Amino acid sequence: MTLEVRDILMQADRIFVRDSLWEVCQKLAQRGKRVHSFQPLYQTGIPLGTLYDFMANILIESCLRYGPVVYALPGNPFVFEYSASLLLNKASQAGLSVKVVEGMSCLDTIFCTYQLDPGGGLQILNFIDWHQHGRLDPEMPSLIFQVGAPIEREFSQSGAGYLSNLERLDHLLAKTFPQGHTVYLLTPSEEDNQQLTVSGLIGSLPKKLQHHLTLYSTLLVPPLRWFQ
Ligand SMILES: C[S@@+](CC[C@H](N)C(=O)[O-])C[C@H]1O[C@@H](n2cnc3c(N)ncnc32)[C@H](O)[C@@H]1O
């Protein structure tokens, strides 16, 4: 996060977060900040669209009753954060102003680590939608976000859901890429601010990546030309 974001968080009276597993929440709590989390709502089975609508309504109502709040999201609030634009629309309808202060996205880290310049062409996909068709241009690098997201009803974080995501991923990628094509699973480290990378080969992704996939993983699929 930037120093500007840190100062805003430290000066805030009330902070709401979507995801209390975000490491920043723990740090805020250690510094005596009270953080309200929407996390338990994810366990209710309410469809995500309705859930984000509900979160935005709570934030607006809270502002109208008690004054300004901070809604803190990881990284850039407009990178895979659907509640942000919803909140801005609702706030404008309610006559409230919103100041958006961006943090550093995982995209920034990925661009630097892999010297990946989107100017050369880049596909950014959401596994939740992409797994339904699996189309990719093999001549362009791809970043598949949310590869550890629960897409099956019976998804359990104990491993069965992750395994079925990886089997699906492997199957879909094998339609476009040759067996043995290298891909990279990028995941934040639990111990520090580093990003962990584990490579895998198409054809054996479930076995290789099963114990590394998390809710916060992204898959980098290099284009064919990187290995020619
Ligand atoms: C809800 S989005 C939040 C992204 C965030 N707004 C950002 O700008 O980085 C969560 C997804 O971002 C990706 N992600 C977040 N942190 C990551 C990291 N350190 N390394 C790789 N991918 C990450 C994963 O695909 C994860 O499922």
Residues enclosing ligand 1, CB less than 6 A? Answer: 73-76, 79-81, 105-106, 145-146, 186-188, 195, 216-218
At 159 the pLDDT is 66
At 156 the pLDDT is 58
CA 158 to chain centre: 19
Give the count of alpha carbons within 13 A of 167, CB side only.
8
The segments of the chain whose pLDDT lies below 70 read: 152-159, 192
Q: Model-level pTM?
A: 0.93
* Residue whose CA lies nearest to ligand 1 atom number 14: 216
At 144 the pLDDT is 98
Q: Quick count: other Cβ atoms within 10 Å of Cβ 148?
A: 24
Helix axes 82-93, 48-66, angle to 10 degrees: 40
Do the Cβ atoms of 136 and 221 come closer than 8 Å?
Answer: yes
User: What is the distance between the alpha carbons of residues 206 and 147, in angstroms, rounded to a whole number?
Assistant: 12
All domains of the chain in start order, with CATH: 3-93 (3.40.1010.10), 106-227 (3.30.950)
In this predicted model, what pLDDT tens digit does every residue of 88-123 receive, in sequence order? 999 999 999 999 999 999 999 999 999 999 999 999
At 153 the pLDDT is 57
Which atom of ligand 1 sits closest to the CA of residue 149?
27
Distance, CA 106 to ligand 1 centroid (Å)?
5
